[in-house]
Structure 1
Amino acid sequence: MSEDFASRYTLANIPRNAAPYQTVRFLDWLERLKSVGMRHDIALGVMVAILTGQRRGDAASNLFKHVTAVQNDEIVKELFVAVREAIAIASPFVGLPNTMPANFGIIAVLKDRGIASIESKSRANFAKEDYEKIGHTTSQAIYRGVGNKEVGQMLAQYMPDFSTYNTFSIFGYLCGGSTVFSLAEVETIVVSAIIGLGATRQARSHTKAAMQLGISVEILSTIDAVAQQIAAWNKTPLPEVLDLAQLRNELSSELEKLATC
């Protein structure tokens, strides 16, 4: 990546006093995620999602560069597709300005290697899929047992445009339409981005959603711990450590209520 490209695209939104990228620490965090059973591509996607929440897309691209440095082009392409998908899924939850530096950074890796195109299975176009229907189904699957039904009701009542966008674009097209990750893997990326962002209420809700979709407490605890350490490195400490035992109890209580309805 040239200095001009980096300054124009990858580093454009980074504060001048930002913590420098540290290869060993970042690779250690990646290995910690893999140690609890995450596939390499999912662990890398989780790291990237946390970093977009932390407004450090530059670090996400550096990590991608180091991870792919010794890989052949086919492996690089496979990892690119996974990271690209993670960034796309994280983007509505953390904001486009926070994800664009990561996008440009991973593009730079491909440009430096002379890779001009990526063959991957794209989402079906809007004429072939009913993304509003998919969005409703996906949203119900994610939030089952989370216990915040009133959120969707309030948005539908008072903010119908936002509600439609939320259903159609986020949970329909992006989350429900993913051809790269399963729904549980999609939610793993979502909760990682939200934890990295420091949005405590949403982090609790999506942690319960991830549990409900089968993501283990061990994995979620490790994601939270890694996010806490990344935030400390970035000098933006997170507001709280997630109380996973309490969240698991809340989920169990809500699922019991649903079972009796």
Structure 2
Amino acid sequence: MKLQARDLRWRPPHSGTARTIVEDVSLHVGEGELVGLIGPNGSGKSTVLRMIYRILRPTAGAVAVDGRDVWEISARENARLMAVLAQEQGGGVDAGGGFGGFSVCEMVSMGRTPHKSPFARDDRHDAGIVQSAMQRTGVLPMAERSFATLSGGEKQRVLMARALAQQAGLLVLDEPTNHLDVRYQFEIMNLIRSLGVTAIAALHELHIAAHYCDRLYLLENGRLAASGTPAEVLTEETIASVYGVRAAIRLHPRTGRPHIEFMPDDPV
């Protein structure tokens, strides 16, 4: 499955003099690639992803999955093509977003909805997929717990399990490692890589992006500042220019990937 976004632009509707949030952003994700979308806070990463997964209709430009415009197919059909792990606007992970009364197992089972007729109940096949998704994300032991009682990191893993249960060919991930400790950051990224599906992820941690992504798109103030392999994008000069911090970068001797050491200015 392939993703193509062309000349994306988004400006809040009826905004008067409000600034354009995203301007002239084009990107592509090839079959089986994991592509990272990086940039400082407020650079437009989440806005680009929301245009991809149909929460925001682009002011201009188009998004296509395997050549099909996502706005010209039904929401149900689109859900069979792409699974989404989204961040809530307020910074929580679906915190109270209408799911407080559901158990973990029920939350993960929602991933099967696009594959079922209305009001159809889960069958043995669905149950097996749901259990496997919970097992792979480490949430099976909490299957009967209320989603509302979980920590932010636990909720993140449950929502990842729901995305896996959807069995879509494209994953759209908005900071999938947010709220996770170091161990689970690596486990989630290893899981994403092991699936072999096409994926695009907005990532905050540059070391995660450098280690796991095939290619990167760097946003600055809603525009593309750089694109290419991690070694091409994550240079000392680019990090200083876009993030405003000094960094020393070398290739890791084992992985051959960029290893980033940030160097904060000395206190006065």
Q: Normalising by the residue count of structure 2, what TM-score does the alignment of the two structures yield?
A: 0.39
Structure richer in helix, relative to its length: 1
